[in-house]
Structure 1
Amino acid sequence: MRKSAYVLHRNGKLIPNDVSFPFVLFLNHNNFSNSQIQFPSRKLIRDSLLPFNRTAESPSIAPNHQSNRMLGFQTDIVTLKRLCKSGDTQNALIMLRDMEHSKGCKLSVTYYNVVINRLCKDRRIMDALNIYYDMIAKGIVPNVMTFRFLIQGLCNLGLYGAAHDLLSEMMAKSGFWNAVTFNVLVHSLCKDDKVREAHKMIIVMDSYWSVYDVVSYNILINGYCKIKRLDAAFSLSIEMSEKRINPDVVTYTTLIKGLCQIGRLEDALVCFGQLRDYGLVPDVITYSTLMDFLFKNKKYDEAIVLFRTIEECKVVPNINMYNIVIDGVCKAGKVDYGEELFRKIPSSGLQPSFYTYNILINGYCKSRMIDKAMSLFMEMSRNKVNPTIVTYNTLINGLCHVGRHNDALCLFNEIQSHGLDPTIVTYSTLIDSYFENEKFDEALAMFRRMECVGLTPNIVLWNILIDGMCKFGKVDIGYEIFKDLGSKGLMPNVRTYNIMMNGLFKDCKFNDANVLLREMMIGGCMPDGFTFNIIIQGFIRCNETKMAIQFLERMLDAGFSADSQTSTDLVNLLTVKKLDDASKEVLIKFFKLASNA
């Protein structure tokens, strides 16, 4: 039988039948009193939570007979809050039970709320519900905070149906609902990617009365921006104005961030301008969001200009903004300006964090200013800022790039003295550097050392090892490692294929290279520009001119360019080989494209 589109609620209003939790929680404004409450049974709620209970057993709730006096606690709300804040939930429960049985102690809803909140944060939702029902049984009426904590606890676990079972009947008879509690639900739904459900809730609520505010809209707009539905996000911002809910800085910042994430820079800048046109002042988060996007898209000059305008708006940079700008200017090659900003941080009443140090150290290393990087590393210790493994990895990589392998190894050996452990990145950096500098034995020794500490190589490290084997003429060993990757649960990526194919072509293993190429294509790993250059050079080296020309044509059709070595090989091919007309046409096309580039 087909369901009716609407159902008649007991207050006489027609409600859409497809409206799910939590709409029914908002349908009555009557004052709340004990006589009005018809709470769902404890069994009903427990039954709805049975699947959850089977997967997440919580510690047993404190027994009634244990005395808090034995623990030496003073039975008051301050002590109860302290226990809950410190995470000592079990003793807080013991204390609450002791207070329940103390004749001289009159408990209010505040005491129960403190414990319910802690239990919900501990994900002990059944224990929180038990306390809730015990409170009701004692005639203590829950307030808006009680329901907010329980709703948050249930939503954090994704138990929306259980929240409905607990609250729908009660909320239909109560007026305990406000925008803050409403926003808990909207936020939880959006966080679980249930943005449309959250939006539907606001739409249906609008037919009855408004319990939402600018925060509700901001949460929903952020939800749509996260799933890249900017059309819906902007529609909501227009709807806000129609309902005379004024967008705030958070609204505009959220939209700017959403536009940035989908690459709409011009629209983001327009939105930024509108913010100021409407008399709002961009805050540090707004500026940081826009500058971060400009730097990431290599709009360095625009980002720096924007940073320099913040003084006019009296926006005080925070450490996150400094990190964004220092990182951006270092990547733009303006390391000196990055250092200047770094030195200004203390005058702003801030202190550089380990992350700030890491950014500038990385900037120095990328610019081959390794002595400055090491000096800043020493400064970290003097300022009692603990280096991280990223700090060490950055410095080791920088030292290797300038040929200071002994210094890199010394730094590697001191990592554990700072309470840190080398990572797969640390070992990969050193092994790659050893291979690059023709230190084959040292590279293998470092690889074995890594295996001894129990680290499992990833595809990046196997690529380094295969490449090293091929460079040292051990192509067969490299090929065996390649073929064994599947047994290690790893899939070759395009770089793995490029390395192996290059090794096979250089070792004149033409047939194996051909087989590998077919495997690559069948496996769905698409060739890149490096692949085409390796194949063309390999076929020319093996005197397979027609195959080389075929792949040159494919490369041009795919929009990739020849590197300098491929270009040289093709010029030589044209001068020393007798080619058919079709091959000549492909080469002419190639040289025309190269001259126009």
Structure 2
Amino acid sequence: MRKRLFNSLLSYSKSLHFPPRNPQLNRIIFQFISTSSPANLDGLIDPDDPFPLQNNPRVEPVSAQDFAFLSSDSGTSTKQKVNARKFSLDAVLIANTILSDNGELWYRTQIFLRQFRGSINEKLVVEVLNLVKMKPDLAVKFFIWAGKQSGYSHTVNVINSLLDLLESGNDDPIPEKFLLEIRDDDEVILKKLLNLLIGKYCKNGLWNMALEELGRLKDFGYKPSRVTYCALVQVFLQADRLDTAHLVYGEMSDAGFRMDGYTLRCYAYSLCRTGQWREALALIEKEEFKVDTALYTKMISGLCEASLFEEAMDFLNRMRADSCVPDVVTYRVLLCGCLNKGQLDMCKIILNIMIAEGCYPSLGIFNSLVHAYCRSGDYSFAYKLLKKMVKCGCQPGHVAYNKLISSICGNEELPSSDVLELAENAYSKMLADGVVLNKINVSNFSRCLCSVGKFEKACKIIHEMMRKGFIPDTSTYSKVIAHLCNASKVENAFLLFEEMKKNGVVPDVRTYTILIDSFCKVGLIEQARNWFDEMVKGGCAPNVVTYTALIHAYLKARKVSKADELFEMMLSKGCIPNVVTYTALIDGHCKAGQIEKACQIFARMQTNAEIPDVDLYFKEVDNEAKTPNVYTYGALVDGLCKVYKVKEAHELLEGMSASGCKPNRVVFGALIDGFCKAGKLDEAQEVFSEMLEHGYDPNTFIYSSLMNRLFKDKRMDLALKVLFKMLENSCTPDVIIYTEMIDGLCKSGKTDEAYKLMLMMEEKGCYPNVVTYTAMIDGFGKAGKIDKGLELLEQMGSKGCAPDS
């Protein structure tokens, strides 16, 4: 018997008829067993014992990890080790006893549990339930047993622990057999358990499962509690199922329950959110609830959600009428509601009211307001908000300042002077507060200042930010340098560029290109070339814009050979020329009289035969980069016409149209002028007609070319018609054209017509010069009209036009 007793203790069967009453003895035995190796147990196990722990395949004791603390050989006490695992030793002993039960010997387990009746409390029961959660049927038996013990009753925490282990985790309901087992023992506990289960599902937003459990609660013959009804109302409100919430509330009201304050606030909010604020007031009256600030605030929030802003403002008056004073939360809810709906005018009203009553927006709300007014373009009020922030003791930080300045200066469209002044004032304040602009805003702010000529201030901002620890990046320097160059402040740009390198900021290709292009435009080609060589030496590869800027500068300075050298270098480096590059070269060579070279470049542009692997290159380049445009054709047409190769120029015009490139007025004008100078008036007239067909009106240059040809051909009648047509089209002839026409008419003996033209010339605001008077006087003399000639000579002197000798 003693051997059997010892074996039973070792196997945790807890089947003793006389269990030891000394808990300390239990701990000693348990410790002994836990620290003994399996080999030491040989011979101690009774083969006839029907309940050995080791031989029972249905037993699932607590895992070895749960008892890892017992295998330690350290000098700490068992109590300390148990606390470290957050489970008491009593809980472990009870759990192992329960887990060793095979489902048929629960009465023996209860005999063992008797020794713990005086120790049963909420903490111990919860621990045991957590340890035996893998055996829900045994957990329910222990739960029922514990509930019967004197001086103990199940708490909410205990019931929730049981619910946690009974839930399968796959959205299936708790097996009804467990509920029936609990009901058979204690109906009150089952009712409490089901109410808590419904509340748990509601808390997790599982309204469909909550409804199922509500049905089961009623099937058992129980009624939901007030807390359960409130939880159901809340979950349906959260799910936007207002109709269902109303049905639940009706049932709740019929059961004689009233909502708690929180549920009522949620219900009133949902009604107001759907525009049913009158129903919300009726509900409050029905519930006989004493309205307070929190309830009104919740309703105001709902009204703002429904965009009922006038009603929301009216509720402020209702609050005061009900002796409820709006607090800072009320105003913030109202302000944020209007802000979220874009009611910025209403926000101004609310802001003034709340500040007057000593309620202030938070820093986050202020920042949001600044952002909203900046986005709407109301920079003036956004700036006023910064002042209000200071007045309210809410110091603006970098968010508010940067937002205002970035909104004003961050767009491509430049701000007006008064708006830019707001940015400058905000910058001064933020500088005094020790706040730093971010890199993007430094760049944009400086750019805007440069655009209005405040170059020194732009540079000063960069230096001030550097003293604050801000290091400008390449982009910031580049933008300011670009605006300095665009304003012809190349000296300032040069100094800033040198400062940039001194500060260790490496210029990129964009920075170099800006400087090279700007210095080229003002004729400082050598300095531009030095920077070009510097960037190449420093490993910064020039791009097509860099090359083109320098090539164009060489061509403009008539240094054609240097332009050609740079072009060849460009090709050898694999930098693909674009249409601007080719057009500049063609135009430059044409103006230098090197028409054949210009034609060769034009051919190269179309074939690109000189560029290695050109097809591979141009896969990465838009086809427009290598396709001649109207300016390319115009330059070459003009060049060909100037050397009287008008036939080739006309063929080029035809090829231009065939390629889909529509000629412009400049191209037509160059070809008309070429034909006129070559004496081919008929061809010039054909091109003139073609130009009109394309929808272009002739300009002064084109008319002048035609009339000059007509003068030389002594076709004065036709030249006069062209002149009048020119005037009809609002093209004003210059004094040279008038003079040539007057001289031609006089030489043709048409002195009266010439004199009328001279008078008309003056009416048009083009005053005769000494050549004009001389031609007219000479015409009168040859026509025998000496008196008129003398009269005109006196008139000439009176108008300050002294006759030559």
Alignment TM class, shorter chain as reference: 0.5 to 0.7
8 Å Cα contact 2:644-2:678 kept in structure 1 = yes
- With over 3 angstroms needed to count, the CA separation of the structure-2 counterparts of 1:326 and 1:115, relative to structure 1, is farther
Alignment of 1:253 onto 2:527: no
User: How many residues matched?
Assistant: 410
8 Å Cα contact 1:259-1:268 kept in structure 2 = yes
8 Å Cα contact 2:430-2:436 kept in structure 1 = no
Q: Which has the larger radius of gyration?
A: 2
Alignment of 1:262 onto 2:535: no
1:458 counterpart (732, 737, 740): 732
Matches of residues 73-222 of structure 1 in structure 2 within 5 Å?
125=377, 148-152=406-410, 155-159=414-418, 160-164=420-424, 177-210=437-470, 212-222=472-482
CA distance in 2, matches of 1:129, 1:229: 32
CA distance in 2, matches of 1:144, 1:504: 72
1:500 counterpart (772, 777, 795): 772
Counterpart for residue 422 of structure 1: 698
SS at match of 2:523: coil
Q: CA deviation at 1:402?
A: 1.0
Q: CA deviation at 1:412?
A: 1.6
Q: CA deviation at 1:252?
A: 2.9
- With over 3 angstroms needed to count, the CA separation of the structure-2 counterparts of 1:425 and 1:177, relative to structure 1, is same
The aligned amino acid for 2:772 is M
CA distance in 2, matches of 1:498, 1:182: 60
The aligned amino acid for 2:692 is Q
CA distance in 2, matches of 1:514, 1:240: 69
Q: CA deviation at 1:187?
A: 1.9
Counterpart for residue 685 of structure 2: 409
CA distance in 2, matches of 1:266, 1:505: 55
The aligned amino acid for 2:421 is G
Identity %: 24
Q: CA deviation at 1:219?
A: 3.2
- With over 3 angstroms needed to count, the CA separation of the structure-2 counterparts of 1:484 and 1:194, relative to structure 1, is farther
CA distance in 1, matches of 2:770, 2:667: 31
Counterpart for residue 309 of structure 1: 569
Counterpart for residue 286 of structure 1: 546
Cα deviations by residue, 1:257-309 (Å, 9 ceiling, x for unpaired) = 34333333333333332232323222212211111111112111221122111
Matches of residues 319-338 of structure 1 in structure 2 within 5 Å?
319-338=579-598
CA distance in 1, matches of 2:507, 2:340: 49
The aligned amino acid for 2:642 is K
SS at match of 2:464: helix
Cα deviations by residue, 1:169-198 (Å, 9 ceiling, x for unpaired) = 678779683222222222222233332332
Q: CA deviation at 1:327?
A: 0.9
Q: CA deviation at 1:114?
A: 12
CA-atom RMSD in angstroms: 4.4
Q: Which has the higher contact order (CA 8 A, sep 6+)?
A: 1
The aligned amino acid for 2:414 is C
Counterpart for residue 400 of structure 1: 676
8 Å Cα contact 1:319-1:352 kept in structure 2 = yes
- With over 3 angstroms needed to count, the CA separation of the structure-2 counterparts of 1:436 and 1:297, relative to structure 1, is farther
8 Å Cα contact 1:284-1:315 kept in structure 2 = yes
Cα deviations by residue, 1:91-123 (Å, 9 ceiling, x for unpaired) = xxxxx999769xxxxxxx99x999987x8xxxx
Counterpart for residue 370 of structure 1: 646
SS at match of 2:414: helix
1:273 counterpart (515, 528, 533): 533
8 Å Cα contact 2:519-2:527 kept in structure 1 = yes
The aligned amino acid for 2:730 is T
The aligned amino acid for 1:328 is G
CA distance in 2, matches of 1:256, 1:521: 48
SS at match of 1:339: helix
Q: CA deviation at 1:416?
A: 3.2
Q: CA deviation at 1:502?
A: 6.2
Q: CA deviation at 1:400?
A: 0.9
CA distance in 1, matches of 2:521, 2:649: 32
Alignment of 1:243 onto 2:503: yes
1:432 counterpart (702, 708, 715): 708
Unmatched runs of 5 consecutive residues or more in structure 1: 1-63, 66-95, 102-108, 120-124, 523-534, 540-597
The aligned amino acid for 1:442 is L
- With over 3 angstroms needed to count, the CA separation of the structure-2 counterparts of 1:264 and 1:98, relative to structure 1, is closer
SS at match of 1:336: helix
Compare 473-482 and 409-418 and name the one that shifted more: 473-482
- For normalisation by structure 1, the TM-score amounts to 0.57
The aligned amino acid for 1:435 is F
- With over 3 angstroms needed to count, the CA separation of the structure-2 counterparts of 1:516 and 1:273, relative to structure 1, is farther
8 Å Cα contact 1:217-1:240 kept in structure 2 = yes
SS at match of 1:368: coil
Q: CA deviation at 1:216?
A: 2.9
8 Å Cα contact 1:467-1:499 kept in structure 2 = no
